[in-house]
Chains A and B, each alone.
Chain A
Amino acid sequence: MSALPTLLWLEFRKSQSFVAVLAGILLLTAVGLARLGANPLNQPEEEAIALFSVAATVGSTLLVVALFLSARQDGTGLLPSVPGGLVHQLARFVYWGVLGTLFALVLTGLLWAYFDRVVPGMPGLSSTMTLLFYGLGLFWLPGVAYLLLAFSYVQSYQLSRLGWLAGLVAFLGFFSLAGALVQVGSKVAYAALPPLTLSLQSLNNRLDDIRLPLEPLLLSLLLAVGLLLLAGRVWDEVEA
């Protein structure tokens, strides 16, 4: 596992320019929200949400494109590696998982800070962040593992036309599978594990509790581990 820091560094070097662009998106969002705050004549809340949505959409699309381009650089087969495929894929997973999380964290933090200034009785930052981490664990982490597997597979086996068709079915099928997992998880929610309870303050200052079931989150994380193991296996299969 001593190769892991080097592989994380390698991911960073491959994606350096994309990281700069993501930082630029966050900066522009911060500037945009600051300007909205200075001009309360229109409907700044709606504009803030629109700005947040655009930044989130562009940022997440960019992350997926960057992950693909970064994975493609290794396709050059520069050097056969002593560390196994799982270590390579784990490094990618950690790097892109953390990068996406940081981006979402800062973006959500900016929006929260804006609303905290202009809307009375906003939920606390810790509740907002817990909700965010819950969502990231549910969607982003298995999504990254899935993308790593999909990109490794496509690169390794040079899909034919029929292969692309199968790939498309698998791609669409993944979301159905993830949806089914969440549904199954929701059905057994509150039954097996205690839910995660968040106290959120609504606009009229009444305290509401949100109970988030832990089962779908655990299933998503298990799915991520499974996909990561498969991606590591594909790497080893192609290298040897």
Chain B
Amino acid sequence: MSNGPTASDLLARLEAVSKRYGGKEGLHEVSLELPQGQAIGLLGLNGAGKTTLLKLLAGLLVPSQGRVEVLGGRPRAMRAHVAYLSDAETYPWLSPADGERLMQGLYPDFNRVRYKELLAFLEVPARPSRSMSRGQRARLRLAMVLAREARLFLLDEPLAGIDLISRDRILKTLVHQWREEATLVLSTHEVAEAEGIFDRAVFLKEGRVVLDASAEELRARGRSVRETFVEVLA
């Protein structure tokens, strides 16, 4: 059992947060604490509430009920410290050079050197998005967001469209490198890729947290992430 986070290393917090879209509930009384320096996997089937949860933390949505706090303030006011990668497509004309120009102008914490390293690591071609494959576009968006020196990274299905072999390599590097300096929350419904990578896994089902367990706790259960996923979500 891991020790709970202290007030000083707590980066973000959700307190009994619900989000309703008209009559439909996207999240139901979710409470979570995100400490500094953790890699957290947000796991669930499509429509489980992963994107809603990430958007609430990014300040893109306001909760219908409950409280969301990031770095001690309202998420909207903390955007300068939060890097969010949505699952939306990018501009069709956007090339890696355009990405650099755009990010540098909009985000003071954008690191050009890191961006160039990421472009090389992720093997992003130097051409407009419209002539890239889906996976290459996903890599470009990932490089743009990860090149920020943010305190909290919120990545919504960042590896969608990337081939399986590259995905594993990227994810391992990404998690090991970034959790040293920031908290990483990554949503996925590809449970296989969550195995042995995250410090903690939060399982969502129909807008509710059905299991929130550290890697040690999962190991103590004697089950893999995939088996746990099937057990708690099926």
Contact = CB atoms under 8 A, between A and B. Distances in A.
Interface stretch (B85-93, B178-186, B222-230): B85-93
Nearest to B79: A82
A7 B84 CA distance: 19
Nearest to B108: A82
B84 A79 contact: yes
Contact of B106 (A73, A76, A81): A81
A168 to B, nearest CB: 24
Given A76-B88, A76-B89, A239-B60, A82 B98 contact: no
A82 B91 CA distance: 19
Contacts of A10: 102
Interface residues of B, number: 29
Given A6-B105, A78-B91, A240 B86 contact: no
Interface string A1-40: 0110111011001101000000000000000000000000
B91 A73 contact: yes
A74 to B, nearest CB: 9
B76 interface: yes
Nearest to B87: A77
B207 interface: no
Interface in B73-112: 75-76, 79-80, 82, 84-86, 88-91, 93, 98, 101-102, 104-108
A6 to B, nearest CB: 2
A49 B28 CA distance: 65
A235 B60 CA distance: 11
A83 interface: yes
Interface string A80-123: 11110000000000000000000000000000000000000000
Interface string B7-41: 00000000000000000000000000000000000
B106 A77 contact: no
B191 interface: no
A81 B75 CA distance: 12
Contacts of A5: 105
B101 A77 contact: no
A6 B101 contact: yes
Contacts of A82: 79-80, 106-108
B90 A81 contact: no
Contacts of A6: 101-102, 104-106
A81 B86 contact: no
A240 B62 contact: yes
A131 B106 CA distance: 38
Contacts of A7: 105-106
Given A79-B145, A80-B79, A14 B91 contact: yes
B107 to A, nearest CB: 6
A80 B60 contact: yes
Nearest to A238: B60
Contact of A3 (B61, B90, B91, B105): B105
A196 to B, nearest CB: 38
A208 B82 CA distance: 63
Nearest to A4: B105
A142 B60 CA distance: 29
Contact of B91 (A2, A76, A83, A240): A76
B158 interface: no
B64 to A, nearest CB: 14
Contacts of B79: 80-82
Nearest to A236: B76
A80 B85 CA distance: 9
B44 interface: no
B58 interface: yes
A83 B80 CA distance: 9
Interface of A: 2-3, 5-7, 9-10, 13-14, 16, 73, 76-83, 239-240
16 contacts: A2-B105, A6-B102, A76-B91, A77-B60, A77-B86, A78-B88, A78-B89, A78-B91, A79-B84, A79-B85, A79-B86, A82-B108, A239-B59, A239-B60, A240-B60, A240-B75
Given A6-B101, A76-B91, A79-B86, 11 more contacts: A6-B105, A7-B106, A9-B101, A13-B93, A76-B90, A77-B60, A79-B85, A79-B145, A80-B84, A82-B79, A83-B106
